């Protein structure tokens, strides 16, 4: 079918893009299989990434359809998006109690975290997002027939958007954010990406700044509609059992006096840990703090963002001459005498980040000490953990500014300043007030999930499942 003359460039770009991806399918599958060496879940049901489904999945889908109710498809590519989706899914269920959830992911950590959102008795399903080729996407859509699709944060795919538009599946970009860097990249590829954005029904932005950048990408088109709804990550409620676990770790880590507070390096990224460990040796371990004042040097707890880097970070710490204890090796889940004697703890578990924040007096924000844009600091605030952040926070620019203004976070220029600030803050008599300010900051910005759920459900496709 020939495209209209006005859309020829977009059509050619999409055809070229799809052709390249088709040719690259073997390389894509090899990459997935290779990552499975470290994270075995990458090899789980790999054929679903190409839109092929075995009989057991078809049977679950048939059982799901028998439940009735609309099928709401939510794509949460990785761990952060899956965590954010939890608040949105809760709000969707409250407003549409009979809905069925189709949850898709692109990473193993996202898929593992997403399992907690599923209700099998309500007909929920989980699978991989199809590879962005026409065949894989069409097979996925023909199989599942979602009534509405929700893409979390930044996930816009040219073929996926084109095929959902053809299939009549309304698509919403929820909790949408767009940095200046991403906007520049998107404009360079506008012939490919702008039609994908125009195929959306609605874009629900986190902030007005995000909305302004998204308007540039939309470029005056009548679709999609654009609204600022806030950030659903403020609606994430830490599980009480995890907060209790973290408080237990804190108590177990200081069995005697003087108390030894925990400084958490949360969600560190590749290239950051070397600077952190060196700064810790130079600032914390050489400070001698506590020798005369009865206050112990804080304990460093590193939690890498990606589980495939656990071994790498452990080796780096030990290569620097520091002793290490790993969370996964604690007998009974609590630090033993050997752990209490270690210089550094490694958080090598999944799904326990609220517990890590609950254990810490102060957290250093990973991803912000390298030019990576920072990680989610809202979860730390919701757990009552003050944050020391580095200079790079463009992924959460408004949240970073608001948290700093609220007294829940402080900004520094590098790891040395960060370690020194964390040590000072953790020992300060004003720390308790900082905890209160963190909780108040997190509470003040709630409500985005309810707003987004209402707008998503308004787009429900009336054709049914």
Q: Which two tokens stand for residue 283?
A: 């600032």
Residue 301 and residue 284 in contact, taking contact as beta carbons nearer than 8 Å: no
Q: Is the pTM of this model over 0.85?
A: yes
CA distance 31 to 374: 26
Query: Is position 63 annotated as part of the catalytic site?
Result: no
C-alpha 395: how far from chain center: 11
CA distance 131 to 128: 9
* Per-residue pLDDT of the chain in tens (465 residues, 90 and over written 9): 444 544 788 899 999 999 999 999 999 999 999 999 988 999 999 999 999 999 999 999 999 999 989 999 999 999 889 999 999 999 999 999 999 999 999 999 999 999 999 998 999 999 999 999 999 999 999 999 999 999 999 889 999 999 999 999 999 999 999 989 899 999 999 999 999 999 999 999 999 999 999 999 999 888 899 999 999 999 999 999 999 999 999 988 776 555 678 999 999 999 999 999 999 999 887 775 444 444 567 899 999 998 889 999 999 999 999 999 999 999 888 998 899 889 999 999 988 999 999 999 999 999 999 999 999 899 999 999 999 999 999 988 889 999 999 999 999 999 999 999 999 999 889 999 999 999 999 999 999 999 999 999 999 855 443
Residue 456 and residue 89 in contact, taking contact as beta carbons nearer than 8 Å: no
Q: For residue 152, give the H/E element and its range.
A: strand 148-152
Angle between helices 55-67 and 134-144 (to 10 degrees): 40
Catalytic residue among 81, 163, 379, 459: 81
Q: Which two tokens stand for residue 155?
A: 């996930």
């Amino acid at each position: 079918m020939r495209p209209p003359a006005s859309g020829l460039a977009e059509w050619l770009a999409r055809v070229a893009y799809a052709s390249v991806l088709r040719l690259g399918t073997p390389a894509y599958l090899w990459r997935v299989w290779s990552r499975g060496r470290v994270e075995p879940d990458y090899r789980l049901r790999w054929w679903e990434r190409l839109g092929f489904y075995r009989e057991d999945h078809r049977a679950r889908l048939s059982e799901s359809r028998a439940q009735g109710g609309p099928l709401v498809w939510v794509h949460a590519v990785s761990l952060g998006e899956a965590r954010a989706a939890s608040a949105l899914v809760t709000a969707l269920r409250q407003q549409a109690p009979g809905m069925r959830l189709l949850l898709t992911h692109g990473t193993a950590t996202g898929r593992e975290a997403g399992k907690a959102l599923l209700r099998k008795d309500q007909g929920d399903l989980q699978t991989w997002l199809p590879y962005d080729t026409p065949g894989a996407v069409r097979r996925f859509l023909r199989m599942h027939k979602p009534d509405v699709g929700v893409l979390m944060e930044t996930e816009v795919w040219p073929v996926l958007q084109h095929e959902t538009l053809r299939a009549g599946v309304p698509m919403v970009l929820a909790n949408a954010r767009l940095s200046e860097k991403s906007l520049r990249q998107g404009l360079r590829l506008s012939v490919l990406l702008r039609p994908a954005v125009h195929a959306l029904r609605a874009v629900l932005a986190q902030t007005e700044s995000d909305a302004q950048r998204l308007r540039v990408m939309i470029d005056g088109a009548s679709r999609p509609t654009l609204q600022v709804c806030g950030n659903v990550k403020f609606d994430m409620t830490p599980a009480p059992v995890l907060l209790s676990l973290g408080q237990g770790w804190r108590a177990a880590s200081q069995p005697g006096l003087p108390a030894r507070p925990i400084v958490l390096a949360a969600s560190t990224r590749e290239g950051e840990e070397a600077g952190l460990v060196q700064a810790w040796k130079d600032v914390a371990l050489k400070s001698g703090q506590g020798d005369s004042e009865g206050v112990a040097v804080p304990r460093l707890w590193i939690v890498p963002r990606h589980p495939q880097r656990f071994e790498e970070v452990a080796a780096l710490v030990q290569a620097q001459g520091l002793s290490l204890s790993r969370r996964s090796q604690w007998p009974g889940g609590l630090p033993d005498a050997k752990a209490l004697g270690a210089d550094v703890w490694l958080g090598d578990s999944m799904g326990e980040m609220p517990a890590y924040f609950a254990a810490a007096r102060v957290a250093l924000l990973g991803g912000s000490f390298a030019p990576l844009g920072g990680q989610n600091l809202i979860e730390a605030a919701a757990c009552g953990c003050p944050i020391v952040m580095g200079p790079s926070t463009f992924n959460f620019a408004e949240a970073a500014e608001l948290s700093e203004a609220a007294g829940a976070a402080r900004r520094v220029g590098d790891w040395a300043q960060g370690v020194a600030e964390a040590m000072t803050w953790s020992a300060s008599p004003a720390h308790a007030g900082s905890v209160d300010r963190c909780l108040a900051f997190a509470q003040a910005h709630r409500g985005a999930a309810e707003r987004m759920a209402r707008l998503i459900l308004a787009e429900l496709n009336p054709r049914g499942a």
